[in-house]
Structure 1
Amino acid sequence: MCQIFINADPDLYTTRSRSIRLHGVATSLRLENLFWNVLEEIGERDGLSVPQLVSRLYDELVASRRLEEHANFTSFLRVSCMRYQQLQLAGRIPADTRVPIRSLDPAWVLAAERRPSA
Protein backbone atom coordinates (compact mmCIF):
# COMPACT_ATOMS: atom_id res chain seq x y z
CA MET A 1 0.00 0.00 0.00
CA CYS A 2 2.68 2.50 0.96
CA GLN A 3 4.40 2.30 -2.44
CA ILE A 4 1.36 4.00 -3.99
CA PHE A 5 1.90 7.00 -1.74
CA ILE A 6 5.66 7.12 -1.16
CA ASN A 7 6.43 7.03 -4.88
CA ALA A 8 4.69 10.39 -5.38
CA ASP A 9 6.75 13.14 -6.96
CA PRO A 10 8.35 14.93 -3.96
CA ASP A 11 7.58 18.25 -5.63
CA LEU A 12 3.88 17.60 -4.93
CA TYR A 13 4.39 17.67 -1.17
CA THR A 14 6.98 20.42 -1.14
CA THR A 15 5.48 23.49 0.50
CA ARG A 16 5.45 26.90 -1.10
CA SER A 17 4.46 30.24 0.36
CA ARG A 18 2.57 32.82 -1.65
CA SER A 19 1.80 36.37 -0.66
CA ILE A 20 -1.86 37.24 -1.21
CA ARG A 21 -3.93 40.28 -0.26
CA LEU A 22 -7.04 39.55 1.80
CA HIS A 23 -9.20 42.61 2.45
CA GLY A 24 -6.25 44.79 1.46
CA VAL A 25 -3.89 43.15 3.93
CA ALA A 26 -0.91 41.22 2.56
CA THR A 27 -0.69 37.77 4.07
CA SER A 28 1.44 34.74 3.37
CA LEU A 29 -0.17 31.36 2.77
CA ARG A 30 1.90 28.19 2.89
CA LEU A 31 0.53 25.12 1.11
CA GLU A 32 1.92 22.04 -0.56
CA ASN A 33 2.36 22.35 -4.33
CA LEU A 34 -0.37 19.79 -4.94
CA PHE A 35 -2.90 22.12 -3.28
CA TRP A 36 -1.64 25.14 -5.25
CA ASN A 37 -2.12 23.05 -8.43
CA VAL A 38 -5.72 22.22 -7.50
CA LEU A 39 -6.45 25.87 -6.64
CA GLU A 40 -5.06 26.86 -10.04
CA GLU A 41 -7.42 24.40 -11.74
CA ILE A 42 -10.42 25.62 -9.76
CA GLY A 43 -9.60 29.26 -10.52
CA GLU A 44 -8.98 28.64 -14.22
CA ARG A 45 -12.46 27.16 -14.54
CA ASP A 46 -13.92 30.58 -13.72
CA GLY A 47 -11.22 32.78 -15.22
CA LEU A 48 -9.68 33.64 -11.86
CA SER A 49 -6.05 33.75 -10.83
CA VAL A 50 -5.15 31.91 -7.63
CA PRO A 51 -4.97 35.18 -5.65
CA GLN A 52 -8.40 36.19 -6.99
CA LEU A 53 -9.87 32.78 -6.14
CA VAL A 54 -8.36 32.72 -2.65
CA SER A 55 -9.56 36.26 -2.00
CA ARG A 56 -13.08 35.37 -3.17
CA LEU A 57 -13.15 32.25 -0.99
CA TYR A 58 -11.96 34.28 1.99
CA ASP A 59 -14.56 37.01 1.41
CA GLU A 60 -17.39 34.48 1.06
CA LEU A 61 -16.22 32.62 4.15
CA VAL A 62 -16.18 35.86 6.14
CA ALA A 63 -19.62 36.85 4.77
CA SER A 64 -21.03 33.46 5.77
CA ARG A 65 -19.78 34.06 9.32
CA ARG A 66 -18.12 30.63 9.26
CA LEU A 67 -14.62 31.99 9.73
CA GLU A 68 -14.06 31.93 13.45
CA GLU A 69 -11.09 33.33 15.31
CA HIS A 70 -9.61 29.87 15.82
CA ALA A 71 -10.18 28.79 12.21
CA ASN A 72 -7.18 28.03 10.05
CA PHE A 73 -7.69 29.48 6.56
CA THR A 74 -4.97 27.34 4.99
CA SER A 75 -6.70 24.24 6.38
CA PHE A 76 -9.93 25.51 4.83
CA LEU A 77 -8.13 25.79 1.47
CA ARG A 78 -6.79 22.23 1.75
CA VAL A 79 -10.24 20.90 2.59
CA SER A 80 -11.74 22.90 -0.30
CA CYS A 81 -9.28 21.25 -2.70
CA MET A 82 -10.12 17.80 -1.39
CA ARG A 83 -13.86 18.46 -1.56
CA TYR A 84 -13.47 19.69 -5.14
CA GLN A 85 -11.74 16.45 -6.11
CA GLN A 86 -14.21 14.27 -4.16
CA LEU A 87 -17.15 16.02 -5.84
CA GLN A 88 -15.50 15.47 -9.23
CA LEU A 89 -15.07 11.76 -8.50
CA ALA A 90 -18.72 11.58 -7.43
CA GLY A 91 -19.76 13.17 -10.74
CA ARG A 92 -21.19 16.26 -9.05
CA ILE A 93 -18.57 18.60 -10.55
CA PRO A 94 -17.83 17.85 -14.21
CA ALA A 95 -14.32 16.57 -14.94
CA ASP A 96 -14.36 18.83 -18.01
CA THR A 97 -12.46 21.84 -16.69
CA ARG A 98 -14.05 24.04 -19.36
CA VAL A 99 -17.27 23.97 -17.31
CA PRO A 100 -17.13 26.93 -14.90
CA ILE A 101 -17.86 26.25 -11.25
CA ARG A 102 -20.09 29.35 -11.18
CA SER A 103 -22.39 27.69 -13.74
CA LEU A 104 -23.18 24.78 -11.40
CA ASP A 105 -26.19 24.62 -9.10
CA PRO A 106 -24.68 24.40 -5.58
CA ALA A 107 -27.76 22.66 -4.16
CA TRP A 108 -27.51 19.92 -6.80
CA VAL A 109 -23.74 19.56 -6.41
CA LEU A 110 -24.04 19.17 -2.64
CA ALA A 111 -27.26 17.09 -2.61
CA ALA A 112 -25.43 13.78 -2.77
CA GLU A 113 -22.69 14.73 -0.35
CA ARG A 114 -22.59 12.48 2.68
CA ARG A 115 -22.54 14.29 5.99
CA PRO A 116 -20.09 12.97 8.58
CA SER A 117 -21.64 11.12 11.51
CA ALA A 118 -21.46 12.75 14.91
Structure 2
Amino acid sequence: MCRIYAGTDPRAYRPVRRSVRLGGMVTSIRLEARFWEILDSIAAEEGMSTARFLTVLHDEVLELRGEVENFASLLRVVCTTWLARRAGLPGTLPALQEV
Protein backbone atom coordinates (compact mmCIF):
# COMPACT_ATOMS: atom_id res chain seq x y z
CA MET A 1 0.00 0.00 0.00
CA CYS A 2 2.71 2.51 0.90
CA ARG A 3 4.16 2.25 -2.60
CA ILE A 4 1.03 3.93 -3.93
CA TYR A 5 1.86 6.97 -1.82
CA ALA A 6 5.65 6.67 -1.59
CA GLY A 7 5.81 6.39 -5.36
CA THR A 8 3.97 9.67 -5.89
CA ASP A 9 5.60 11.78 -8.57
CA PRO A 10 7.53 14.58 -6.79
CA ARG A 11 6.10 17.07 -9.27
CA ALA A 12 2.70 16.56 -7.62
CA TYR A 13 3.90 17.93 -4.29
CA ARG A 14 6.37 20.56 -5.39
CA PRO A 15 5.39 23.98 -4.11
CA VAL A 16 3.87 26.36 -6.65
CA ARG A 17 3.32 30.04 -5.94
CA ARG A 18 0.60 31.97 -7.77
CA SER A 19 -0.19 35.66 -7.49
CA VAL A 20 -3.84 36.60 -7.08
CA ARG A 21 -5.78 39.74 -6.23
CA LEU A 22 -7.82 39.38 -3.04
CA GLY A 23 -9.64 42.31 -1.53
CA GLY A 24 -7.97 44.66 -3.98
CA MET A 25 -4.48 43.58 -2.91
CA VAL A 26 -2.13 41.35 -4.87
CA THR A 27 -0.89 38.46 -2.78
CA SER A 28 0.83 35.18 -3.50
CA ILE A 29 -0.43 31.80 -2.44
CA ARG A 30 1.89 28.82 -2.17
CA LEU A 31 0.34 25.38 -2.51
CA GLU A 32 1.49 22.01 -3.73
CA ALA A 33 1.00 21.50 -7.47
CA ARG A 34 -1.68 18.85 -6.92
CA PHE A 35 -3.84 21.33 -4.99
CA TRP A 36 -3.56 23.84 -7.83
CA GLU A 37 -4.71 21.13 -10.24
CA ILE A 38 -7.75 20.47 -8.07
CA LEU A 39 -8.53 24.18 -7.68
CA ASP A 40 -8.32 24.58 -11.45
CA SER A 41 -10.87 21.75 -11.79
CA ILE A 42 -13.19 23.23 -9.17
CA ALA A 43 -13.05 26.64 -10.84
CA ALA A 44 -13.75 25.13 -14.26
CA GLU A 45 -16.71 23.24 -12.82
CA GLU A 46 -17.99 26.56 -11.42
CA GLY A 47 -17.54 28.17 -14.85
CA MET A 48 -14.84 30.64 -13.88
CA SER A 49 -11.10 31.11 -13.90
CA THR A 50 -9.12 29.94 -10.89
CA ALA A 51 -8.25 33.53 -10.01
CA ARG A 52 -11.93 34.49 -10.07
CA PHE A 53 -12.89 31.42 -8.02
CA LEU A 54 -10.31 32.33 -5.36
CA THR A 55 -11.57 35.91 -5.24
CA VAL A 56 -15.20 34.84 -4.89
CA LEU A 57 -14.33 32.27 -2.21
CA HIS A 58 -12.23 34.80 -0.28
CA ASP A 59 -14.99 37.42 -0.43
CA GLU A 60 -17.67 34.92 0.66
CA VAL A 61 -15.60 33.75 3.64
CA LEU A 62 -14.87 37.36 4.59
CA GLU A 63 -18.58 38.17 4.49
CA LEU A 64 -19.53 35.05 6.45
CA ARG A 65 -16.77 35.10 9.09
CA GLY A 66 -15.52 38.70 9.12
CA GLU A 67 -11.95 37.61 8.38
CA VAL A 68 -10.09 35.00 6.40
CA GLU A 69 -7.59 33.11 8.52
CA ASN A 70 -4.94 31.01 6.79
CA PHE A 71 -6.38 31.10 3.28
CA ALA A 72 -3.89 28.52 1.99
CA SER A 73 -5.10 25.98 4.55
CA LEU A 74 -8.70 26.80 3.69
CA LEU A 75 -7.91 26.08 0.03
CA ARG A 76 -6.45 22.69 0.91
CA VAL A 77 -9.58 21.82 2.89
CA VAL A 78 -11.78 23.04 0.03
CA CYS A 79 -9.90 20.66 -2.27
CA THR A 80 -10.29 17.67 0.04
CA THR A 81 -13.96 18.50 0.65
CA TRP A 82 -14.58 18.65 -3.12
CA LEU A 83 -12.81 15.31 -3.60
CA ALA A 84 -14.72 13.72 -0.70
CA ARG A 85 -18.06 14.83 -2.13
CA ARG A 86 -17.13 13.47 -5.55
CA ALA A 87 -16.28 10.16 -3.87
CA GLY A 88 -19.64 10.12 -2.07
CA LEU A 89 -18.13 10.60 1.38
CA PRO A 90 -19.93 12.63 4.05
CA GLY A 91 -19.33 16.36 3.79
CA THR A 92 -18.90 16.94 7.52
CA LEU A 93 -16.58 14.99 9.74
CA PRO A 94 -18.32 13.77 12.92
CA ALA A 95 -15.41 15.03 15.06
CA LEU A 96 -15.94 18.55 13.73
CA GLN A 97 -19.62 18.56 14.69
CA GLU A 98 -18.64 18.44 18.38
CA VAL A 99 -16.32 21.45 18.22
**TM-score clears 0.5:** yes
CA distance in 1, matches of 2:45, 2:7: 29
Counterpart for residue 82 of structure 1:
80
Compute the displacement of 1:23 (Å): 1.2
Q: Which deviations, in whole Å up to 9, do the C-alpha atoms of 1:64-97 show, x marking residues without a partner?
A: 01635xx2110000000000000110178xxxxx
Counterpart for residue 115 of structure 1:
94
Counterpart for residue 18 of structure 1:
18
Counterpart for residue 38 of structure 2:
38
Q: Secondary structure at the match of 1:48?
A: coil
Work out the number of aligned pairs and report it: 97
Letter in 2 for 1:2: C
Q: Secondary structure at the match of 1:64?
A: helix
Moved over 4 A (4+): none
- Aligned-pair Cα RMSD in Å: 1.8
Q: Which deviations, in whole Å up to 9, do the C-alpha atoms of 1:31-90 show, x marking residues without a partner?
A: 00100000000000122111101111100000001635xx21100000000000001101
What is the percentage of aligned positions where both structures have the same residue? 34
TM-score, structure 2 length as denominator?
Answer: 0.88
Q: Give the gaps of 5 or more residues in structure 1.
A: 93-109
